[in-house]
Amino acid sequence: MADLLEVTDLHTQFFTRDGVVRAVDGVTFRVAAGETLGIVGESGCGKSVTALSLMRLIPQPPGKIVKGSIMFDGQDILKMDDDDVRGIRGNNIAMIFQDPMTSLNPVLTISRQISEALELHLKMDKSEARKRTIELLELVNIPSAKKRVDDYPHQFSGGMRQRVMIAMALSCNPKLILADEPTTALDVTIQAQILDLLKNLAREFRTAFILITHDLGVVAGMTQRINVMYAGRIVEKADTGELFANPKMPYTWGLLRSIPRLDESRRAKLVPIEGLPPDLIAPPPGCKFEPRCQYRRDICSEKEPELKHIPNSKPDHEARCWGTQDGGWLVNTDWRHEIGDTRVLEAIKQETASITATDTPGE
């Protein structure tokens, strides 16, 4: 059975005065119907741009999808004309955005904002759309939905607003929902509620989800597979359980190591990934993570590794690392105990400190 979504070699770039930013630099992945895929990475790694590219929502100047194909339900989205793409948006693919406060129009009622898509795609009339809107609000657990349907966004709390956005995304029964950091702007307690809601909806309606976040904790409980992105590329792909149990890329090791744990001693220091993400206009020639990698060797700065299956792991597990691929020096490394070359670590720390020292403005 063909996958619902097949992205092949996607390249999205932004043309600025300072140069061309290669935000998404060759990304390939697939999502099956009803599956939840997690895309994880730091700010600026290209995960949001990937999602926006799927819906062709990249602002045309200065952005452009320069290469690749996005096969959705057998059709290439990048080759469709504008009307067809609009027919898919909100209808077959929907998106939930990060900040519900700014993502909802403050001067329109939520009834209007949800009914819009219903009237447009499902051709409902006003009363049908209104009934369906109330049903949707009840589905996402908004109390007194019938009374609140004519309220404005500012009359809802943050968590409620996100539920409204979810209701909006679900309205036309899409096959795929893109959730871009859906809980980042919310309190932790509300986060859990929203994630639970999403999980239940995914199960009930068999909707495929792409969950984009920088928070590994969020993807752990929600996804079947995870793509780890860095500098516009996927650097590791695996089933969720496999990724946490048996990660095979130093960046992922760094991410996992940096999560504070309840069972650690209070004295234990936090272990960040030193250094800064690379400049996407002029990225380093070899592996993009090399400048910050404590396990690096010469080959890492010379040639970029391919995303390939790695030994000692499940069949679908791929990583982009010279060290962990066949014949590499990290194949048998236990990342939990070997933190790499500490001299390299010191060098990285020093370089970062010298770059980030600034003079205070205005004095």
Partner 1 sequence: MLKYTIRRLLLVIPTLFFVALITFGLAKAAPGSPFDRNPDKPPKQEVIDRWNRFYGLDKPVYEQFAMYVVNVAKLDFGLSVVRQRPVVEIIGQGFPVTAQLGLQALLLALAVALPLGVISALKQNTIIDYVSLFFATIGTTIPSFVMAIFFIYFFALGLKLFPITGWGTPQHMVMPTIILAMGAAAFLARITRASMLEAIRQDYVRTARSKGLREQVVVVSHVLKNALIPVATVVGPAAAGLITGSFIIETFFSVPGMGREYVRSILALDYPVIMGTTLLYAFFIIIANLSVDLVYGMLDPRIKVAK
Partner 2 sequence: MATASATQRRAAELNVLARKQRSLWQDAAYRLFRNKAAVAGLIVIAAAFLVAIFADISVGDFHFSIAPYSPTLIPQPPASQMEPLWTGSKYTDPRYLLGTDFLGRDILSRLIYASRISMVVGFVPTAIVFALGVTVGLVAGFFGGWIDQLLMRFTDVIYAFPDFLFLIIIVASFRTSAFGKIMDGLLLIFVAIAIVGWVGVARLTRGQVLSLKEREFVEAARSVGATPVRLMWKHLLPNALAPLIVTAAFAVPGAILGEATLSFLGVGIIPPTASWGGMINEGFPLFGTNPWAVLMPALCISIVMLAFTFVGDGLRDALDPRMKT
What are the residues binding partner 1 (CB under 8 A)? 55, 57, 86-91, 94-95, 97, 99, 102-108, 116-117, 120-121, 151-152, 154-155, 165, 168
Q: Which does 97 bind (CB under 5 to 8 A by kind): partner 2, partner 1, none?
A: partner 1
b/e sequence 197-233, b meaning 16+ C-beta within 10 Å: bbeebbeeeebbbbbbbbebebbeebbebbbbbbbbb
Site for partner 2 in 276-305 (CB under 8 A): 276, 278-279, 281-282, 284, 291, 296-298, 301
Residue 251 near residue 230 (C-beta atoms within 8 A)? yes
Q: Which does 34 bind (CB under 5 to 8 A by kind): partner 1, partner 2, none?
A: none
- Least distance to partner 2 from the beta carbon of 332, Å? 18
Query: Cα separation of 89 and 52, whole Å?
Result: 11
Q: Is cis: bond before 277, omega within 30 of 0?
A: no
Site for partner 2 in 12-31 (CB under 8 A): 18
Q: Which is nearer to partner 2, 121 or 233 (CB)?
A: 233
Q: Which does 346 bind (CB under 5 to 8 A by kind): partner 1, partner 2, none?
A: partner 2
Site for partner 2 in 183-202 (CB under 8 A): none
Please name which of 177, 166, 292, 175 lies closest in space to residue 230, comparing C-alpha atoms: 292
| Residue 333 binding partner 2, by CB under 8 A | no
Chain contacts with partner 2 (rule: CB under 8 A): 18, 275-276, 278-279, 281-282, 284, 291, 296-298, 301, 341, 343-344, 346-348, 350-352, 354-355, 358-359, 361-363
